[in-house]
Chain A
Amino acid sequence: MAMRIPGSGHWKRHAIWLTLAAILVIVLLLRLNLSFDLSAFFPRETSLGNDVLLQQLSQGPGSRLLVIGIQGGTNTQRAETSRLMQETLVADHQFANVFNGELDLEQVSVPEPVKSGYLLMADVDLATPALAMAVQQRLRDLAFGGGAMLRGIIAFDPYLVTLDLLQKLAPAKMDAGLWFATDGSAVLLAETRAAGVDLIAQSQAIDSVQRAFADLYDAPDMRLEITGVGAFSVELEQTIRAEARFRSILASIVVTIILLVALKSFRLFFIAALPAGMGFLAGLAALTLLFDEVHGITLAFGFTLLGLAGDYPLHFFSHARGQSGLDAIKAIWPTMWLGAATTAIAFLAMVFLGSNGLAQLGVFSSCGVVVAALVTRYWLPVMLSVKAEIGDLGGPLVLPRLSHVPAALALILALLVIQFVLPGGMWNDELSALSPVDPDRIQRDRVLRSATTSSDMRYQLVLSAASVEQLLRESEQVDSLLQAAVADGLLAGWTSVTALLPSAELQAQRLQSIPDAAELDSRLQAAISGTPFRVDAFAPFLAAAAAAKSIYPIESADFDGSPLASWRDGHLVYLNNHWVALVTLLRPDAEKLERRVRSWPAEVEWLDLQQSTRSLMRDFRREAAIAVGTAVLLILSLLTLERIGLRRLLWIASTVTGSLAVTIAVVVYVHGALTLIHLVALLLVLGLDLDYALFFSRADSLRGRQATLRSIIACAASTVLPFFILSLSSIPVLKFIGLTVAVGSCASFTLAYFGQRSRKAPPEQSPATT
């Protein structure tokens, strides 16, 4: 086929499109902000419990933990390396806390504001008899131990309230020695000061861990392993960059070859790239305008437009034989427009799936498809005119003979396979299934993490209130209810934010019970009389009591920057304009305690994390089904409005259904179950199905139909191959999308092709051209 670029008569239109492209590029340069936050692909909203769950997953203290595993060598070598790494990393300002299971009591210091405000944080009996008893106990402690740290603590806190408090707040399992995972790895937890999603800081923290390991031990068979949200995010960024680069290049080469073979012209090849290129730019620019950050996965997904948006110029070129570009596009535009509109509707369904990441994919893809179609319609025709080499495509328009048999057979076969061959359920409702992190890495994270926690975090109580003070007062009421539950044997204990931050009301009561300086000094002197203690031995205690008035009230913000900040963040969060308290339960009798909690007058939500994640995913899937169902109805309405005819409408519907059923059967067989990512990819398949079915079923001349077949073969090849390349990716999300679309595209083409036959006789009436 020989085509030429037309003269300069269309320069105005070129200028308009080029200006648009320039504007899009400027928008991207100014606003594009990439993110690799894993939680973007988790669902938004639902219940308070679920909001808390997601908040903790994405921003909670757990998201700032790097889990470090040390493997190889002997037990002694791993233990020694663990200790030395803990010592090195704890001195590194990038880490707020570093734990390895050993709580080195000599390293513990009492942080502010606990040190200054402990008399407001706990009930302390300051009467002379209690004070005398405390002093006697401390004398025995001095006979037992020694050192500057013990002296310091006793001097300002003769009751040792601060130590009891810190022991209460210490992470679980801190009294059983070094942490070792079931596979023998020594395990450390390093809490970064930076958020888990701050990739630059996380990357630097990981570098520090690796350097510390390399500097400390050079046993050749020892290995370091780092997991956790921060590590996964950094790896994901690197993997996405590498995968996107490698697979984009590979897919581009494959698509280039297919297009060059189909178009037989470099010039046309470059023109054919314009719709996809403009679609990519427009989709990305739309994202930067609508969202604060664009997720890396969305960008990686962007090149899928190569497969779909690349279809439009192929349809156009195939039909632009023997007629001008403008005439050709006018002939196929109704069908192309319908295909683009229905595909855009299908993609837009993703916007309503309740996840920011998926919403971005929806906006990006639908915007890209529409812009690609518009570029094909309004720019490409003025770029070329055509000289017929294989004859024109004119002649009488013929409606093809449409058969439901292939689609029906495919549907029955797929249903039989799903029903009888595939084991288990069709849906995977685990939240982790949405994670783009390799399941093996997540499993390793679990193995290492299991060495560090003893308390079951599955059950939690959630309270919320408009203000912190109100929340703390309610939490204190719940504390007394829980105390009774402990006495009744319903649980072993609990941790609540009130252990660290009592309500201002309770603090005020404690403040009032502190006598004035002279009175307290008099009580103290009476308490130490007859002991070897110096009269000024407890001067720091008197100073702390005097200072309590100026410290009152201790507020949440007072813990900012303190080592206790992460503990606070795990128990007190600000969410959806409300303050939320999380109460963790130790060894609860879940069934009985849940019943008890539901009978309380206080408004407390019982949160079962395991149940919650599953119901979250089920809700998510239900919403997805509604969104997809709505999209299908909209598409059917659009097709009806376009008056394509009932027979053609039914054929399109059966072909699309058959193709989707086959795709689902194959995908479930290969990947075990469907996730939401597969559902998203099925929307893309739906778009392809509609596109192929619309073109195959339109009325056309015989040569026009040959052109259609050629263009659809090129379209299918340029979709299947790049998506097949994608299906080999190590990133689950890309792998899921790749296989689904590759299989779906094959099934779409096969069913649409075998479901229609050309008629020889021309129709009596001029058919619709859509």
Chain B
Amino acid sequence: MNSRTTNFFVLGLLCGWMSGSPEASDFDLASVLSEISVTPPAQVRFREERHNPMLNDPLVLTGFLEYLGPGHVNKTVESPFQESYQIDQDQIRVEREGKERILSLRNNQMMKTLLGGIEAVLAGDANRLDAIFSYQLTGNPGSWVLELVPRSSRVARHLAGLRIEGGSKTLYSMRFNFDEKEWQLMIFSPPG
């Protein structure tokens, strides 16, 4: 694995939470975020499809995510191979085939932007999210879609946008569109 690839991982890493919070009276970004924000520590299972033009079929990964607090997230892949990633502020610890490697996240504006943005989702901070992404929220409290586009043109060159779906205080899925040929979809389910 190369440090170059760390950025893309984090996209998927920090987005899969399902949790409840007090119901908001209005349907807007603040109320939606407030509904799905979590209190660490929290854990969620995921099924991830990686659609890539180099592959005949999507690569399907399963495993679980742990949110341990601001800047601290673990992702564990259980199939089709075992691998784990631990994000600790500005670095990521990768464990692959018994070998551990630490990669710096500092040299990547896209990564930092995403971390900031996704943490804003987890913390229910609409102002912070708005500073990083332009957004469009459609639907109703029972079923909504939040489309996010990075405000930084530099980041947007490598990540076209995010599509987050949820409803009834629950985060259903997150889709990351890298470009028209490549995307990944994470579908969340409760642990257990």
Does B54 lie within 8 Å of A147, measured CB to CB? no
Query: Could you tell me if A163 and B182 are in contact, using CB atoms closer than 8 angstroms?
Result: no
Cross-interface CB contact of A104 among B50, B59, B85, B108, cutoff 8 Å: B108
A440 at the interface (CB under 8 A from B): no
CB of A105 within 8 Å of the partner chain? yes
Residues of the B chain whose Cβ atoms lie less than 8 Å from the Cβ of A103:
107
Task: Report the separation of the CA atoms of residues A150 and B6 in the bound assembly, to the nearest whole angstrom.
Answer: 11
Min distance, Cβ B169 to any Cβ of chain A, angstroms? 30
Does B184 sit at the interface, judged by CB under 8 A?
A: yes
Confirm or deny: B83 has a beta carbon within 8 angstroms of a beta carbon on chain A.
yes
In the complex with contacts A142-B59, A176-B106, A532-B59, A105-B3 CB distance below 8 A: yes
**Contact call A141/B182, Cβ cutoff below 8 A:** no
**B179 partner residues in chain A, CB cutoff 8 A:** 147-148
Interface string of A95-137 (1 = CB under 8 A from B): 0000000111111100000000000000000000000000001
Question: Is A145 among interface residues, defined by CB-CB distance under 8 A?
Answer: yes
The reply to whether A151 and B107 form a contact with Cβ atoms under 8 Å apart is no
Structural contact, B107 and A139, CB atoms closer than 8 A: no
Contact B81 A140 (CB under 8 A): yes
What chain A residues lie within 8 Å of B77 (beta carbons)? 143
Task: Point out the residue from A145, A155, A174, A534 that lies within 8 Å of B7, measured CB to CB.
Answer: A145
A146 to B4, CA, bound (A): 9
Please indicate the chain A residues that have their CB under 8 angstroms from the CB of B19 in the complex. Answer: none
Q: A148 vs B156: C-alpha distance in the bound complex, in angstroms? A: 12
A137, A142, A153: which has the most chain B beta carbons within 10 Å?
Answer: A142
| A104/B178 in contact, CB under 8 A | no
Q: A106-B7, A177-B107 are in contact. Are A147 and B178 (CB under 8 A)?
A: yes
The contact size tier of chain A is 35 or more
Q: Is A703 an interface residue (CB 8 A)?
A: no
Per the 8 Å Cβ criterion, residues 85-137 of B in contact with A are 85, 90, 94, 96, 104, 106-110
Contact between A140 and B83, CB atoms less than 8 A apart:
yes
The answer to whether the Cβ of B25 comes within 8 Å of any Cβ in the partner chain is no
Q: How far is it, in angstroms, between the C-alpha of A104 and the C-alpha of B105 when the chains are bound?
A: 10
* A104–B107 CB distance below 8 A: yes
Q: How far is the CB of B110 from chain A (nearest CB, A)?
A: 6
Kindly state whether residue A83 has any CB partner on chain B within 8 Å. yes
B2 touches A141 (CB 8 A): yes
Does A87 interact with chain B (Cβ within 8 Å)? Answer: yes
Residues of A within 8 A of B157 (CB): 106
**Cross-interface CB contact of A142 among B54, B81, B104, B106, cutoff 8 Å:** B54
Tell me, in angstroms, the Cα distance from A175 to B96 when the chains sit together: 22
B107: min CB distance to chain A, Å = 4
The bracket for how many chain B residues form the interface is 35 or more
A680 at the interface (CB under 8 A from B): no
CA A721 to CA B51, docked complex, whole Å? 82
Asked if A214 lies at the interface with its beta carbon under 8 angstroms from chain B, I say no
Query: Which residues of B, 1-43, contact A by the 8 Å Cβ criterion?
Result: 1-9, 11
Decide: A537 and B107 in contact? CB cutoff 8 A. no
Contacts A102-B107, A145-B4 given; does A154 touch B83 at CB 8 Å: no
Tell me if A160 is interfacial: C-beta within 8 Å of chain B: yes
Are B109 and A104 closer than 8 Å at their CB atoms?
A: yes
Q: How far is the CB of A170 from chain B (nearest CB, A)?
A: 10
Min distance, Cβ A318 to any Cβ of chain B, angstroms: 75
A625 at the B interface (CB under 8 A): no
List CB contacts (< 8 Å) of B29-67 with chain A. Answer: 50, 52-59, 61
Bound: A140/B96 CA distance, A: 9
Shortest CB distance A125–B (Å): 18
Given contacts A105-B7, A163-B4, contact A143 B50 (CB under 8 A): yes
Task: Point out the residue from B59, B107, B158 that lies within 8 Å of A175, measured CB to CB.
Answer: B107
Which residues of chain B have C-beta atoms less than 8 A from A153's C-beta? 4
A150 surroundings in chain B (CB, below 8 A): 4-5, 8
User: When chains A and B are docked, how far (Å) is the Cα of A534 from the Cα of B53?
Assistant: 8
13 chain-A/chain-B pairs, Cβ below 8 angstroms: A102-B109, A137-B1, A142-B52, A144-B1, A146-B178, A147-B8, A148-B178, A150-B5, A151-B182, A154-B54, A160-B2, A532-B58, A533-B55
